[in-house]
Amino acid sequence: MQATADVQTTNTLDGLIDLARYPVDDLDSDAGRALIEQCRRQLDEDGCVVLKNFVPEEALARLERETERLSPEAHYNQTETNPYNSAGDPEKPASHPVNRFDDRTNGFVAGDRIDDDTIIRQVYEHPGFQRFIGAVVGMGEIHQYADPLADLVVNVLREGCQHPWHYDTNEFIVTMMTRQSHGGGRFEYAPGIRSPEGENFAEVEKVIDGDRSRLKGLDLQPGDLQVFFGRYSLHRVTPVEGDKERHTVIFAYAKEPGFIGRPERAQRIFGRMAPVHERLLEEGMNRSDSLAD
């Protein structure tokens, strides 16, 4: 009975992922091990891996329709933010990264608005896909967010929207482009510019000042999957140009079960909190490292 269930689970990825090119359902095969090795090598070298055309051509139209249908549910917020999503520090000079604020305007569709029958939800929750991502990032096991708003998210950028220099709350992030804008919307990052041991403010300041010597850029296209160590790599999305929205799905996983995002972050990004966030406001919460969020 268990073997039959496993086969049925594996087959749910058929047609959603190009399994011939990316055998995420057979990681113990020679091809599967080669894929993991290739991904880990890219992560070691670049802090990022991009799997082009991860979604097969025949599923792309459905994928774009999904996020097109969901995009009106996006909550837009406009704010001035520094790379740490924090307040400034008057005791530090104006040039310090913590005092460098830029416009952030974008929209997010919360996870509780994304149906169970969508491609993106089926991929996100699939054990085989999760095992693949865990193997890529060198973790024996990863876990879906317990946060009902931030577990699976669609980022929607209209003309003029951008996400300035920032870090991610979680150690790594998995994204999939589903719709590209007519112009702009370029993903740029400085791999490994900080670590759990320190913020490396001097190098961050150089990047904000326009030093591109350590920057990398990605030409992401619909159907591409990206795995990225965004907790340690400063990154941004440049302003979107034209009247075609840029859509990106964010698959959020954590090293430990039960991860919940900060309540104030949920309120800012989604315009609301879930009951679990309200409980956290009363109980308080801790992070596993001392880095600024």
Residue 7's CATH number = 2.60.120.620
pLDDT at residue 11, as a whole number? 53
Packed helices 275-283 and 263-270: angle between N→C axes, nearest 10 degrees? 140
- 134 within domain boundaries: yes
Assigned domain for 292 exists: no
Residue 104 exposure: Cα atoms within 13 Å on the Cβ side: 22
Residue 244's Cβ-count burial label (10 Å; 0-12, 13-18, 19+) is middle
**Quick check: 167 and 205 in contact, CB under 8 A?**
no
**What is the number of other CB atoms lying within 10 angstroms of the CB of residue 139?**
15
Residue 275 belongs to a domain:
yes
- Answer yes or no: is 224 within a domain: yes
Indicate the pTM of the whole model: 0.88
Number of domains in the chain: 1
Q: Tens digit of pLDDT for each residue in 58-70?
A: 899 999 999 999 9
d(CA 226, CA 48): 7
The mean pLDDT values, 10 residues at a time, for the chain of 293 residues are 38 87 96 97 93 94 96 95 94 98 96 94 96 95 95 97 92 94 96 94 98 95 95 95 96 92 89 92 65 62
Residue 223 is part of which domain span? Answer: 2-283
Residue 1 is predicted with a pLDDT of 35
3-state secondary structure of 200: coil
Closest CA to 15 of 128, 131, 123: 123
Q: Is residue 289 part of a domain?
A: no
Q: Are 47 and 229 in contact (CB under 8 A)?
A: yes
Whole-angstrom Cα distance, residue 265 to residue 263?
5
